[in-house]
Structure 1
Amino acid sequence: MSDRSKKLGPRVTVSVTPGDYDTLNALAEKDDVSVSWVVRRAIQEYLRRHQRPTRAARRPALDQQTAAPART
């Protein structure tokens, strides 16, 4: 296993439209980074937005709505 694959982990291959690739390439050039870096950052942001919130991070009102009703 190469040092690079140890650092970054598994490799994923995706196909994008020519227009999306041009946009990714323009963003990468603007920030002087690679297209791969832009894609990894986009994946990180997507995963962060779609992770289920932890119980501590939830609003109390949500906890009350989802809690089981109190028994009397």
Structure 2
Amino acid sequence: MGATDKAKNMAEDMGGKAKEAVGDLTDNERLEAEGQRDQAEADLKQRGEQLKDAGEDVKDAFRG
């Protein structure tokens, strides 16, 4: 995973956590749900990047 992608995913995750916290504090269920969705999206992107990296490792092993 590239450093830029990792930083973007981390920023999206942290922003989601902040939204969720603000939504919880203000009893704004929509904002809280938005924050949870942002965190889930960041997690999916990170897992996709990890799978891509694993695929590259397998390719490299066969090129050997």
TM-score bracket relative to the smaller structure: 0.3 to 0.5
Q: Which has the higher helix share?
A: 2
TM-score normalized with structure 1 length: 0.38
Which structure exhibits the higher relative contact order, with contacts defined as CA atoms closer than 8 Å and separated by 6 or more residues? 2
Larger Rg: 1
